[in-house]
Amino acid sequence: MKQKNEKIQPFGGVVESCNYIVKQQIHNMENSYTKKTITLKFAKSSFNSYLKFQLILAIK
């Protein structure tokens, strides 16, 4: 998770954050296929939301 006092970097931290999210999702996964699918869909949608949020911040 991000620290509260961590600076938000519009583009610098995106790759690191994505890698972290993916590693966390894989770590939390169980062997069940449906759980994997749901987890991956959730990771993808939450990361897309994160990217949109970063773009909005970059434009401001």
Using alpha carbons, select from 42, 16, 48, 17 the residue that is nearest to residue 29.
42
Q: Using the predicted structure, report yes or no on whether residue 48 has a pLDDT greater than 80.
A: yes
For residue 33, CA distances in Å to 15, 19, 21, 51 come to 26, 21, 19, 27
Residue predicted with more confidence, 24 or 29: 24
pTM (predicted TM-score): 0.30
pLDDT band at residue 60, thresholds of 50, 70 and 90?
A: low
Residue predicted with more confidence, 53 or 39: 53
**Per-residue pLDDT tens over the stretch 9-21:** 555 566 677 778 7
Specify the amino acid at residue 7: K
